Structure 1
Amino acid sequence: MANTLVRMLAALMCTLAAFADIVPVQNFDLQRMAGKWYLVGIATNAPWFVNHRANMKMGTATVVATDGGDLDLTYANIKDDGTCWRMTHLAQKTDTPGRFTFHSQVWNNDNDITIVDIIYDDFALIHNIKTKDGVSEVVDKLYSRSTDVSAAHQQKFTDFSSGNGVLPENIVILPKAAECAEA
């Protein structure tokens, strides 16, 4: 247990140091990012993920560009009992295109999202720093326009997350799952 804690703390320190180098994709276009995405990969050393990664499945993320340039983001996943879990966040644009921030009322944390890489009709690599009570966690996500993502994009995701200090066992391509019905 102590060894695991030390490894997680070391990874977190590497992650925080690496965050200084995270920059958004050049020429980011929120309008082109809008639409339905599948959340196909997630990577984090956060304890909540470590405790639940075995039960996590692919879900959807719907991105809507607001008139003011903010990002309206809705996640949906089928739970084990067949019901649908949904969560929506309105992330405010920053002075840096491709970077957004929001406070989650559900989890009581602050989120700093950076769109690191994107091919608008194919995949997106998202980097999120979640901070609660002065403690930050990195959550990297791999989005795809389909439930299948290429080996090259999976490798890019793995390399990026590893470079941010995420342990290899905490970089997961999620298994496919049924989708929630449109709300």
Structure 2
Amino acid sequence: MRPAPGKWQNRPRPKRWTLRRPLAVWLQISLLLCAPGSQGRKGPACWSLSPSQFSGLWYVVSMVSDCKVFLGKKDHLLMSTSTVKAVAEGNLSVHMEFPRADGCNQVDAEYLKVGSEGHFRVPALGYLDVRIVDTDYSSFAVVYIYKELEGALSTMVQLYSRTQEASPQAVKAFRDFYPTVGLPDDMMVMLPKSDVCSLGGKEAP
């Protein structure tokens, strides 16, 4: 018997996902985002993401993941930043700053466009599949990441905000989305602010 619509999220998930998982997840994402939201806005699955509008400074204010490394550290993580710049062929150049107890860790990576706008891979970070699943450009974005770390496959969803205080609408979009890819609330963390990575004088591109 076919399970009732919406019940699939409650079924036990396999401990290790196969590489076919991103396609199945993206089909689910596409169905969700092609329907107008509460304000009639459609997500990037139905329209082309504008890399230039997405560029600039983003705060990573919340994350959820089934990655074992993340789960072991999530209660000690702090708010990080990603400064995004549109480059040739629809790719994105991203400068990330992660506050740590011993200082600020900085990472530069290129998000390589794959197929449609808003779809990337990041070989340098082990990101096999990255999707900007929702954004209004001016205040928030929801980012889906399927990655491989030390041979283990996992899923992560991040909430980007243009400010350190995400709006209630942004948090709702984030919380509404991540259960649809099988991530429960107890794997989510709202990241505390930090001044370890000083933004003094930094301007978004």
TM-score range, shorter chain: 0.7 to 0.9
**Residue 18 in 1 paired to residue 35 in 2?**
no
Overall identity of the aligned pairs, in %? 25
Give deviations 1:104-134, integer Å, cap 9, x for gaps: 2xx5x24311110111110001011113577
Report matched runs for 1:122-133 at 5 Å. Answer: 122-131=139-148
Could you tell me which residue of structure 2 aligns to residue 65 of structure 1?
A: 86
Contact 2:53/2:137 (<8 A) preserved = yes
Which segment drifts farther, 155-164 or 46-55?
155-164
Could you tell me which residue of structure 2 aligns to residue 3 of structure 1?
A: none
Contact 2:85/2:94 (<8 A) preserved = yes
Which segment drifts farther, 33-42 or 89-98?
89-98
**Residue 168 in 1 paired to residue 175 in 2?**
no
**Out of 79, 82, 89, which is 2:100 matched to?**
79
Distance 2:77 2:132 in 1: 23
Give deviations 1:50-107, integer Å, cap 9, x for gaps: 10000011111100111332111111022113x1111111011122111111212xx5
Distance 1:11 1:165 in 2: 13
Equivalent residue letter for 1:159 = D
Give deviations 1:128-152, integer Å, cap 9, x for gaps: 1113577431111100000001122
**TM-score with structure 2 setting the length:** 0.75
**Out of 34, 38, 49, which is 2:70 matched to?**
49
Q: Considering fraction of residues, name the structure with more strand.
A: 1
**Residue 142 in 1 paired to residue 162 in 2?**
no
Relative to 1, partners in 2 of residues 1:148 and 1:133: Cα closer, same or farther, differing over 3 Å? closer
Distance 1:11 1:160 in 2: 21
Cα RMSD, aligned residues only: 2.6
Relative to 1, partners in 2 of residues 1:20 and 1:165: Cα closer, same or farther, differing over 3 Å? same
Could you tell me which residue of structure 1 aligns to residue 131 of structure 2?
A: 114
Contact 2:127/2:145 (<8 A) preserved = no
**Residue 103 in 1 paired to residue 123 in 2?**
yes
Deviation (angstroms), 1:46? 0.8
Gaps of 5+ in 1: 1-6
Larger radius of gyration: 2
- Of structures 1 and 2, the one scoring higher in RCO (CA 8 A, sep 6+) is 1
1:22 match: secondary structure: helix
1:140 match: secondary structure: strand
